């Protein structure tokens, strides 16, 4: 079924969904509610992490993707010792024909030990036809930060 949304309406909906998606990291950690991490994604959404060296660091296959359940479990473990704050979205580009958004983000990561460090990512999100949910997440991460976070929540 073809979308009846005009490109400007679809663009706005994709932007709104994108901003809500990113804010879920901060909100979920602040409220200690891991379920918030999946509020803006479909039940079948897959999450992919790049570069491949991150996956190999965790002995995961190159084509590995997190399901919503698996990602929520990881996030739940993380937020017991980590808090995400000051998450800023930059460089947002939206393609309404492809139903994709690309952007960069920078957040502060606060540990229970009182340490604060910066996490920067680049993201590509693929959306449902109406732009209200995300079907696929590709996150290009700073490997050092991911390993640091994993060490804190281990």
33-70 burial, b for 16+ CB within 10 Å, e for fewer? ebebbbebbeeebbbebeeeebbeeeeeeeebbbebee
**pLDDT on residue 101:** 98
Q: pLDDT category, 20, cuts 50, 70, 90?
A: very high
Residue 1: per-residue pLDDT: 47
99's CB contacts (< 8 A; 6+ apart) are 10, 14, 126, 127, 128, 129, 131
Which CATH number does 7-153 carry?
Answer: 3.10.450.50
Residue 28 banded pLDDT, cuts 50, 70, 90: very high
What confidence score (pLDDT) does residue 4 get?
A: 66
Asked if residues 134 and 17 have their Cβ atoms less than 8 Å apart, the reply is yes
């Amino acid at each position: 079924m073809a979308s009846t949304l005009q490109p400007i309406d679809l663009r706005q909906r994709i932007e709104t969904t994108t901003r809500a998606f990113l804010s879920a990291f901060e909100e979920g950690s602040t409220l200690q509610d891991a379920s918030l991490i999946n509020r803006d994604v479909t039940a079948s959404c897959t999450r992919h992490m790049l570069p491949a060296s991150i996956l190999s660091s965790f002995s995961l296959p190159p084509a590995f993707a997190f399901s919503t359940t698996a990602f929520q479990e990881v996030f739940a473990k993380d937020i017991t010792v980590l808090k995400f704050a000051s998450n800023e979205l930059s460089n947002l580009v939206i393609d309404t024909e492809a139903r994709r958004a690309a952007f960069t983000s920078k957040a502060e990561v606060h540990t229970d030990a009182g340490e604060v460090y910066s996490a920067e990512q680049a993201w590509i999100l693929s959306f449902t036809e109406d732009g209200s949910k995300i079907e696929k997440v590709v996150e290009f991460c700073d490997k050092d930060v991911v390993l640091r976070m994993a060490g804190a929540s281990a």
